[in-house]
Amino acid sequence: MKRGITPYLFILPWLIALAAFIAYPFAASLYFSFCDFPPLQKPMAIGADNYVELVGDAAFHRSLGTTMIYAAIAIPLGVILAVTLAMLLNSRIRGLTFYRVIFYLPHLVPTVAVAILWMWIFNPQFGLINIILKPLLGMADWWTSAFRTWPVAAGVAAVALPGIIHSVWRRRSACGSDPSRARRPRCVRLAAAASSLSIAAVCLAGIALLNLLLNRAFPLDMDKLHSPGWLSDATPFPSSLPFAPPWALWGLIVMSMWGVGQMAVIYLAKLQDVPTELYEAADIDGASWWTKTWSITLPMISPVILFNVVMAIIGTFQVFAEPYIMTGGGPEEKTRFVAMFIYDQAFQYQRVGYASAVAWVLFLVIVGLTLLAFRVSRRHVYYAGR
């Protein structure tokens, strides 16, 4: 008997805290969601009125839409960036520990400090991003217009052409040649130098053409890209797409990418777990880098990707501090996330009951999306143990 009670005695403080600070508020908020409850008065049961009101509340729909769009972009982008970063950090280069620390550091900076820092970075007039963007795109525009005059275009083509011919020729002859030979003939070395030059020329032509095409296809967006209003701009980007996030939301998305270092460290731990013999076997089979990544690396780290996606779903639906500090929900309420909406209802508009109802809907949405992630993952996630 004594043996039965003792362990519970030890976890008792935690159990009490769990009951008082998690279980009770959890249950109470469910009850309040069926009440009219100004914080200064007693809750009054009103049935499902709060939930009915939610269905028709345009402000709620707006903030749920904002949160969804943010999640739909920030989560995949975050995963891609973090995996890429982890793979880079996994390579064998000098000063690796230093880079790992550098990329993890942003996670240690307090949210408020980060938010205020990024407010300056996003300042349309003095901000770092616009200071870089404007001359960069200005140069691209200048080059595009220069490229459109035929002497320049012909010059670039003249430099690019030998390189293209050389690379085609080398590809053909590569099969027969012996790579281990120490000295190449002089003409081959000359051709190699010419080919690097022409790669540069091809890139320059590519920039000009890409800029030209983008300017033709999205003249308004490309014009805006020179100096976006970021956090104070409510116009969508790209403007022709439905459900495109406004510039202010893009700002918050870009900012959230700053913190992917933390996710990358988790990926990195798993990457180092991937057995090297798999790569060796693939090398023997002559697999390319891309095949190895797609068929070995990603499947092997897929459980961690699932974990990070689930954490990101929960995290993005709770985004509060950054928009609260940086935009206050504006411009035009386009960065009022659901968590902010809940806060406003409870503490600005004195409607704790309604806020509780929204919180429960948010909870169900998060649970639903998490279950969906698990369901989808069944086919794509590989657990070595099973």
Partner 1 sequence: MRSIHFALLGVIAAIALIAAFEPRPALQAFDPVKHAPYKDTWAKRTHISYWEKWGSFERDACQAMVDDFNQNQDEVFAHYINTSQVNRKAMLAIVGGDPPDVVGLWANDLPPFAEAGALMPLDDLMAKSGLTRNYYTDDYLKLGEYNGKIYALPTTPTSVALFYNKEHFRRKAGKLRAAGLDPDRAPRTIEELDRYAAVLNEFDPDGSPKIMGFLPTEPGWFNFTWGYYFGGNLYDEATGTVTTDAPENVAAYKWLKSYAEAYGRESLLRFRSGFGNFDSPLNAFIEGKVSMEMQGVWFPNFIRRHRPHMEFGVAPFPTAEGVPGPMSQLDCDIIAIPRGCKNPEAAWQFVLHTQTRGLAILCRLHGKHMPIKNPPALYRQGHPNLELDVFEEVAASPHSFIMPRIGIWQEYLNELNRAFEHVWSWPVPESELAGLDGEARRAKIEQLCEAEIRATLANVRETMQKKLDAKRERDAARDSLRAGNSKTRPAPAKNGGGT
What the block records as the tokens of 180 is 């281990």
Task: Give residue 134's Cα distance to chain centre.
Answer: 24
The H-or-E segment that residue 44 falls in is strand 44-45
Q: Residue 28 or residue 80: which is nearer to partner 1 going by CB?
A: 28
Q: Does 229 bind partner 1 (CB under 8 A)?
A: yes
- Give least dist CB 231 to partner 1, A: 9
Tell me which of 30, 194, 212, 234 binds partner 1, using CB under 8 A.
234
Query: Among residue numbers 36 through 55, which ones bind partner 1 (CB under 8 A)?
Result: 36, 38-44, 46, 53
Tell me which of 1, 4, 13, 385 binds partner 1, using CB under 8 A.
13
The H-or-E segment that residue 35 falls in is strand 35-36
Angle subtended at Cα 148 by Cα 143 and Cα 149, rounded to the nearest 5 degrees: 105
Tell me which of 276, 348, 375, 378 binds partner 1, using CB under 8 A.
348
SS3 content of the chain, % helix, strand, coil (to 5): 75, 0, 25
What the block records as the tokens of 300 is 């092997």
Query: Among residue numbers 52 through 81, which ones bind partner 1 (CB under 8 A)?
Result: 53, 58-59
Q: Does 9 bind partner 1 (CB under 8 A)?
A: yes
Tell me which of 227, 302, 370, 377 binds partner 1, using CB under 8 A.
227
Q: Which residue carries 């030979």 as its tokens? A: 181
Tell me which of 29, 106, 107, 123 binds partner 1, using CB under 8 A.
123
Taking the C-alpha atoms of residue 71 and residue 319, their distance in angstroms, rounded to an integer, is 10
Q: Does 302 bind partner 1 (CB under 8 A)?
A: no
- Give least dist CB 38 to partner 1, A: 6
Q: Does 330 bind partner 1 (CB under 8 A)?
A: yes
Task: Give residue 383's Cα distance to chain centre.
Answer: 25
User: Torsions phi, psi of 255, nearest 5?
Assistant: -65, -40
The footprint of partner 1 (CB under 8 A) covers: 9-10, 13, 28, 36, 38-44, 46, 53, 58-59, 123-126, 224, 227, 229, 232-235, 330-333, 344, 347-350
